[in-house]
Structure 1
Amino acid sequence: MIQSVNSREIRSNFRAYLDHVLTTGDRVLIYRHGKEVAALVCREDLNALEAATGRNERLMEHRHREAMERIRVMKGEMR
């Protein structure tokens, strides 16, 4: 479940929100001036996000290397 709060509310009751996230695994979406600015998530969710980000970065690097190799091959064929 995702709970939404403004920055003033989270600042005033941070410990309670932290305890809530730790005990339930829920996420807290933090707003400032009506815009989403941050989220409070449990460590398990952060680990999953970091793992997904790492996989995506490795995939992008792999695709970049493949594209560069194709360009090198095409340049060689043009000569």
Structure 2
Amino acid sequence: MHNETNSIRLRDNLRSYLDQVLASGERVLITRHGKPVAALVSPRDLEALEKAENGREALLRARQEAQMREFQALKAGLDGDC
């Protein structure tokens, strides 16, 4: 669950919002002109997001490397047929 505030209210009450995030871990969605622009999250949530992002990047890299090996093996087989 998250709380939502606009950038002006956040500026005027930053300490309160920081205390809220620290105490409860609740996320705060920050809007400008009614559109989401940023969020305040706990350090724990940030760490989880970064781990997920790093895991996704590692998975994509591994898939790309596997595809490259398959391509090179296929190419080597075709080059050998000539």
Unpaired stretches in structure 2, ≥5 consecutive residues? none
- Aligned equivalent of 1:4: 4
Shift of 1:34: 1.7
Between the two proteins, what is the percent identity of the paired residues? Answer: 46
Unpaired stretches in structure 1, ≥5 consecutive residues? none
Shift of 1:65: 0.3
TM-score, length-scaled by structure 1: 0.95
Shift of 1:77: 1.4
1:39-54 aligned at under 5 Å gives the runs 39-54=39-54
Shift of 1:78: 1.2
Q: 3-state DSSP class of the match of 2:56?
A: helix
Give the letter aligned to residue 45 of structure 1.
D
TM-score, length-scaled by structure 2: 0.92
List structure 1 runs of 4+ shifted beyond 3 angstroms: none
- Aligned equivalent of 2:73: 73
Task: Determine the C-alpha separation between the residues in 2 that align with 1:36 and 1:63.
Answer: 33
The structure having more radius of gyration, on CA atoms, is: 2
Give the letter aligned to residue 8 of structure 1.
I
Deviations 1:17-74 (A, max 9, x none): 0000000110000011221111000111111111111111110110010011111011
Give the letter aligned to residue 75 of structure 2.
K
CA RMSD, 1 decimal? 0.8
